[in-house]
Structure 1
Amino acid sequence: MDILVMVGQLILGLTILVGLHELGHMLTAKWFGMRVEKYAIGFPPKVISKQIGETEYMIGAIPLGGFVKISGMIDESLDTAAMGQEPQPYEFRAKPAWQRLIVMMGGIIVNVITGVIIFIILTNMYGEPYLPAKEVKYGVVPNELGKQMGFQTGDKIVKINGKPFENFDDIYEPDVLLSKNGYYTVNRNGQEVNIPIPNDLMDKMADNKDQMRFVEIILPFEVGRVLAGKPADKAGLKPGDKIVKVNTLETPYFHNLQLALLANKGKQVNLSVDRAGQIINLTANIDEDGKLGFERAPLLQYSMRDYTLAESIPVGTQKAFGVITANIKGFGKIFRGEASASKSLSGPIGIAQVFGSTFSWQNFWFIVGMLSMVLAFMNFLPIPALDGGHVLFLTYEIVTGQKPSDKFLENAQKVGMVLLLGLMAFAIGNDVFKLIF
C-alpha cells in the first residue's frame, strides 16, 4: 500500500506538471498560427486519444514525460520527412525566430508561473513555521567559525544588538550580520556575555559554505520519518524511537548523534534505542556520509507566522526561486567535484520516495511546486533535445541573423536524445542501486 501511495503521487504530480509544460508550448504555438499535430502526456504505447480539429490529444502508457508535435519542427520524434519541401505558412520553421523562441520558452514559463502560484497559495493557506528564540532552551553548539567568534557549547542567545528577539533565525538576518559594531548577548552559566559580530563575518561565511550557520541548536530529538531502503530502515528504526547511544557514545542531543555517526561513517555500529520506555539494541551500517537516513522529529514547539494574500506574493515567489538557486548551487558543487552525482541526482524512484508513503495535500503541492521549478530549470539547460537547446540555437539565429541548417539541428537533436536517455538510465539505475544497497 505504501508503494502504491508513493507511485500514485508521483504519477499525479508528473501528469500535472508535464501537462502544463506541454500546454505552454501548444498554446503559444497556436497563438502564432502554427499547426500542432499532437499533444501528448506520457509516452507511447497509446492508452487513449481524441482528434479535435488539427490536433490529436493523447495519453501514453509511460507517465515519465510528454511532448507536443508542431509541424515543421525538428523535435524528439526526428520526423524530418517534410523538411525537404518548401516551408508552409503554418509550420514552425516558417515563423520568425522571435515567435519560435517564445514557443520554446512557453513550457518553461508555464512551469515557473505554476511553481510561483503554488508557493504563494501554500504560504497564504498554511503560513510559515518558525522557532521562537525562547524555545532554544538547551542553547547552541558552535562550529569552527562560531568558536572563532567566541561561542561556546551551551550558550543561550538572548539578545541581538542589545534587544530581545522572537525568531531564532533572526540571528542570521543580513542586516544583523552586516550591522556596524553589532553583537550577540548570550547567557553563559547564568551570566550575560557579549559576543561581537566580526566586520568580515559575511566574507568568512562566503569562503566556507559549510560554515553558513555558525551555531546549531542543541536539540533533543526523536526519529521521525524513516527513509525507505536507507540504513535506518534496514536496521529497524521506527518513528518515535530515541537513539540514546551509538556504540558507547551517549547521544542525548542531535549534535551528539551527528558527531557519533561521522566518527563511524562507513562502519557498522550498535545502536541503543529507547522505544516506548524500553531499551533495545539494533545494528546499523552507517553510510559514507555519516548518515542513517531518517528525518528527525525535534521536541521543540514551533510557532506559525500567518500571511495575507498580499504578503504571501513576495514570500512565496522568493521560496519558489530559492528552489532554482539551490539547484544551481548543487550543480556547481557536482561540477567542482565537491558533491557526488550519484548521491545528488534522483530518478523517478527517488522522487516517489520524496513524496512519501502517506498523503497530505500540503506536502503533495509543496513537492509539486518544487518539481515545477526544477523542471523549468532543467529544461532551460542548453542541451539539444531540451527546450534550452532550442532556445540556444534560436538565440544564435536572432543575434547573427543566420539559421543553423536542418541537418545540423537534426544531428544535434540525436546527440541530445542520446545524452538524455543516458542520463535517465543513470538516474534510474542509481535509484535502484541506492534502494538495494
Structure 2
Amino acid sequence: METVLQFVLGVLIIAVGVAFSIGLHEVGHLLPAKLFGIKVTQYMIGFGPTVFSRVKGETEYGLKAIPLGGYISMIGMFPPRGANERAASNSTGFFQQMVTDARAQSQLTIGLDEDRAFYKKPVWQRMIVMLGGPFMNLVLAMVFFSIVLVGFGTLQPSTTVGSVSACVLPATSERQTCEAGDQESPGAAAGLLPGDRLVSIDGTAITSWEQSTEIIRDSAGDALPVVVERDGEELDLTLTPLLTERYVLDDAGETVTDASGSPVIEEVGFVGMGSAQALTPQPITSVPAFVGDNIVHTIGIVVNLPQRLYDVAEAAFGPGERDPNGPISVVGVGRVAGEIAALDSISLEAKAASLLGLLGSLNVALFVINLVPLTPLDGGHVVAAAWEGIRRFFAKLFKRKDPGPVDAAKLMPLTFAVVILFGGMTALLVYADIVKPVDIFG
C-alpha cells in the first residue's frame, strides 16, 4: 500500500510541475503582450471545457479540463484581407475557407481596439511576445537543474568501497561469476568490505576514487599499507595489487581498439573493488553546459522524430522494447516519476533530485519543441514576424512601397496539418506508454 501511495505521489508531483511549467510558459507570453499594449482576452491552462475562470480587468483567467497545454488569446492575430486578394475570396475550397474564417475571427476580436491588435505591433515586439514562452521554459530548466546539480549534486564515484570481487577474472574472460579454483581477489584477501571508506593508500591521503585507482594501477606486486574507516574506526590493512589484463578505455568510457578493430589490452594493478556512488554537489558554473547538453540531445530527438516514432510504433505493436532515450508522452513522464517515487533502493534525496531532473528535462523539451518553425508553435509565429521584418527592410532599402504585414492566416492549412500530426504523435506515445512503457531501470 505504501508503494502505491508513493507511486501516486510521484505522479502528482510531476502533474503539478507540468501545470506549473505550462502556466509560466503562458505568463512568458502574457507579460510582454500586456507591456506592449496588446489586448489579451484570455489566459488559459489546458484545453476543452472550462473548469474555472475569473475575469480580471479585460482578461479572463481560467483552467480547462484537459491540462495538456495552454494559451493566451490576443486580439488581431491576423491582418485583414489585402486588396490584391479579393479575386481569391470567391474560392470555396476547404483550405481557402479555413484562411477566410481565420481572418474573419481575428477581425471579430478587434472591435474598437485596432491599435492594440497583435498584427499592428512592431516586428520586434511580436517576436518578444512569442519568444517569451520558450524563454520562460529555458529559465525553469535552469532553475530545476541548478537545484539538482548544486543543491543535490550528481552521482559520482566516492571514496567509499561499494563492492569487493571475490575472485580475479581477466578482462578477456567470458565468465562473470567466480568458480572453485579461481584466485581470490586482492581486495577480498586484504579484508576490504563494502562500506569501507578509503582514508589513505601507501601514506597518501585519498580524496577521490580516481586517485586511489591511479595508485593501484601503478603498484602491481607492491604491498601497500591501506587505512580505511569502518563503523567510525580506522583500520590498517595491507593491499597487494595483482598484475592483470584490462581493456584500455577512452575518456568516454568506451573500449579503445587498434587498427584491426581489436580491443587494446594493457597490464595494470588490480584489486577487485568498486566505488559506491554518492551525490556530489556541482558548481553553479556547470549548469549552463548541462542544460546545453540537454538541449542538443532534445534537438537530436526532434530532428530524428520520424524514425523515433517509427521505432516507438514498432515496439508498441510488436515484441521489441522501447528505447529508454526515445520520446515519451506526459503519461510516460508521469509513470516514470511514479516508479522513481516508489523505489525502495534509493534515498529520499535521490528521489527528489530525480523528479526535479525530470521537470528540468520536460522544460527543455517544451523550449525546443515550441521553437520549431511551424505554426501554431511559437517558432512559426516568430518566423512569420521575422519574414515581415526582412521584407520591410529591403522595401525601405530600395525605396519601394511598404509591403505591409505578413498574412499569417495563409498558414492555417499548415497549422491544421501540424495539429493533426501532433495529435497523432501524442496518441501513439500515450498508447505506447500504456502498453509498452519505457523501462528506465533496465
Q: TM-score, normalised by structure 2?
A: 0.59
> 1:132/1:36 Cα in 2 relative to 1: closer, same or farther (>3 Å)?
same
Q: Is the 8 A contact 1:333 1:339 kept in 2?
A: no
Q: 1:4-403 to 2 correspondence within 5 Å?
A: 4-73=8-77, 80-83=103-106, 88-132=114-158, 135=161, 137-138=164-165, 190-191=241-242, 301-307=276-282, 311=283, 313-331=284-302, 340-342=311-313, 343=322, 344-357=326-339, 358=341, 361-401=352-392, 403=405
Identical pairs, percent? 24
| TM superposition shift of 1:328 | 2.6
> 1:186/1:61 Cα in 2 relative to 1: closer, same or farther (>3 Å)?
farther
Q: Is the 8 A contact 1:40 1:59 kept in 2?
A: yes
Question: Counterparts of 1:346 and 1:321 in 2: how far apart (Å)?
Answer: 20
| TM superposition shift of 1:20 | 0.6
With 317-326 and 1-10 compared, the bigger mean Cα shift is at 1-10
**Gaps (5+ residues) in structure 1?**
144-153, 157-162, 172-183, 216-252, 254-297
> 1:155/1:23 Cα in 2 relative to 1: closer, same or farther (>3 Å)?
farther
Question: Counterparts of 1:376 and 1:193 in 2: how far apart (Å)?
Answer: 49
Question: Counterparts of 2:375 and 2:120 in 1: how far apart (Å)?
Answer: 21
Question: Counterparts of 1:30 and 1:140 in 2: how far apart (Å)?
Answer: 68
Question: Counterparts of 1:104 and 1:24 in 2: how far apart (Å)?
Answer: 8
How many aligned positions are there?
Answer: 321
SS in 2 for 1:428: helix
Q: Is the 8 A contact 1:112 1:372 kept in 2?
A: yes
Question: Counterparts of 1:27 and 1:422 in 2: how far apart (Å)?
Answer: 32
**Gaps (5+ residues) in structure 2?**
79-97, 173-184, 188-203, 222-239, 266-271, 314-321, 343-350, 393-402
Report the counterpart of residue 233 of structure 1 in structure 2: none
Report the counterpart of residue 416 of structure 1 in structure 2: 418
Question: Counterparts of 2:159 and 2:310 in 1: how far apart (Å)?
Answer: 33
| TM superposition shift of 1:187 | 5.4
Q: Is the 8 A contact 1:185 1:193 kept in 2?
A: no
| TM superposition shift of 1:436 | 12
| TM superposition shift of 1:105 | 0.6
SS in 2 for 1:57: strand
Aligned-residue RMSD, C-alpha: 4.7
| TM superposition shift of 1:192 | 5.2
Question: Counterparts of 1:314 and 1:352 in 2: how far apart (Å)?
Answer: 30
SS in 2 for 1:41: strand
The letter of the residue matching 2:276 is: Q
> 1:73/1:130 Cα in 2 relative to 1: closer, same or farther (>3 Å)?
same
With 330-339 and 2-11 compared, the bigger mean Cα shift is at 330-339
| TM superposition shift of 1:362 | 3.5
Structure ID, larger Rg: 2
SS in 1 for 2:299: helix
Report the counterpart of residue 404 of structure 1 in structure 2: 406
Q: Is the 8 A contact 1:382 1:391 kept in 2?
A: yes
| TM superposition shift of 1:169 | 7.5
Question: Counterparts of 1:8 and 1:407 in 2: how far apart (Å)?
Answer: 39
With 83-92 and 20-29 compared, the bigger mean Cα shift is at 83-92
Q: Is the 8 A contact 2:312 2:432 kept in 1?
A: no
Q: Is the 8 A contact 2:14 2:355 kept in 1?
A: no
What whole-Å deviation, never above 9, does each CA across 1:156-200 have from its counterpart, x for those lacking one? Answer: 9xxxxxx998656899xxxxxxxxxxxx858599445899989x9
| TM superposition shift of 1:134 | 6.9
Question: Counterparts of 2:434 and 2:360 in 1: how far apart (Å)?
Answer: 25
What whole-Å deviation, never above 9, does each CA across 1:250-287 have from its counterpart, x for those lacking one? Answer: xxx9xxxxxxxxxxxxxxxxxxxxxxxxxxxxxxxxxx
> 1:95/1:142 Cα in 2 relative to 1: closer, same or farther (>3 Å)?
farther
Question: Counterparts of 1:40 and 1:192 in 2: how far apart (Å)?
Answer: 67
